[in-house]
Amino acid sequence: MLKNIQFKTSRAVCYGSLVFAVISLCGMNLSAADYVAPRGPDGKHPDLNGIWQAMNEAHYDLELHVARASLQVREGPQGPVPSIPTLRMGAVGAVPPGMGVVVGGSIPYKPEALLKKQQNQKNWSELDPEVKCYLPGLPRATYMPQPFQIFQGENSLFFAYQYAGAVRDIYLIDRGEAPIDSWMGQSDGVWDGDTLVITVTGQNDQTWLDRAGNHHSAQLKVTERYTPMSANHLQYEATIEDPETFTKPWVIRMPLYRRVEPGARLMEFKCVEFVEELMYGQWRRQPLER
């Protein structure tokens, strides 16, 4: 039998009969607020350089949800069943359960906007911009099931996303109103202590927030906060404001984890060519069976 092992910390003495249990219990005494990240290129602010990825089900649905038979369902004799477009995907097209990342639990939709969300969900395969490889926008790019990389310089940062080769420049100045709307918008940053705060404006109304049909208008404003909590862990928070779609601002929060495997890097997922048949195949001289 394993003997009880005693570990002393600066704050408490932790006891456990198993090593992993002892480490877990003692770790609870060490607050993430005590962590001081290495300084970045400017020598003043935390070094956020690295490859990061969310590990949750937010990409399927930001809100708390149970498992569903399919990303797109229809009414069946005993309850919802997969729709015709997703039927043959089987379990691959199912929605895994998720605890949700919306602070407070639910998205505060206006009634008419909630109806649009429900219609989006019913017609996911035709309407979700991800299906057509359109750029994801913010905050969706952050929690897609693919990594992204932060390149941090003295006066600016560059975010590169594996999905669709999406990128954005973050300038540490206030550039004022975005001159045009775009898929990834305009990102202006500022440091709040050890937290990088990015305000994203000027996004078009074509992107979704997840695969559940959650959406927004062109009035969307996203305020992101990236805070180092350990050597391999950032706390991500985004405040979402859109008076045309929501009754009030709301917040999502989740951890982001550093990819630490040997040789970690972004690889290519330029999916435009992957959807050429879906979008343009019917116009071939000799179309393939659809």
CATH of the domain at 160: 2.40.128.20
Phi, psi of 72 (to 5 degrees): -140, 125
Q: Measure the CA–CA gap between 111 and 92, rounded to whole angstroms.
A: 32
Q: Please, which residues have CB within 8 angstroms of residue 85's CB and are 6 or more apart in sequence?
A: 72, 125, 126
With a cut of 50, say whether residue 28 has pLDDT above it. no
pTM for the model: 0.87
**pLDDT attached to residue 289:** 87
**Is residue 54 located within the same domain as residue 126?**
yes
Query: Domain check: are 276 and 219 in the same one?
Result: yes
Query: Per the domain annotation, does 147 fall within a domain?
Result: yes
Residue 138, C-beta contacts closer than 8 angstroms, at least 6 positions apart: 168, 184, 185, 187, 200, 203, 222, 224, 238
What does the pLDDT read at residue 228? 98
Question: Residue 287: inside a domain, yes or no?
Answer: no
Q: 206 Cβ partners below 8 Å, 6+ apart?
A: 129, 134, 137, 183
Structure-block tokens of residue 76: 């069946």
**Shared domain check, 181 and 70:** no
Q: Residue 80 sits in which domain range?
A: 66-98
Average pLDDT over residues 269-282: 93
Asked if 123 and 74 sit in the same domain, the reply is no
Element housing 199 (H / E):
strand 195-201
pLDDT tens-place string over residues 163-184: 999 999 999 988 888 999 999 9
Tokens representing residue 235 in the block? 């706390």
121-170 per-position pLDDT tens digit: 999 999 999 999 999 999 999 999 999 999 999 999 999 999 999 999 99
Within a domain: 205 = yes
Is 42 a domain residue? no
Q: Is residue 38 part of a domain?
A: no
pLDDT average, residue stretch 34-62: 96
Same domain for 234 and 90? no
Same domain, 238 and 159: yes
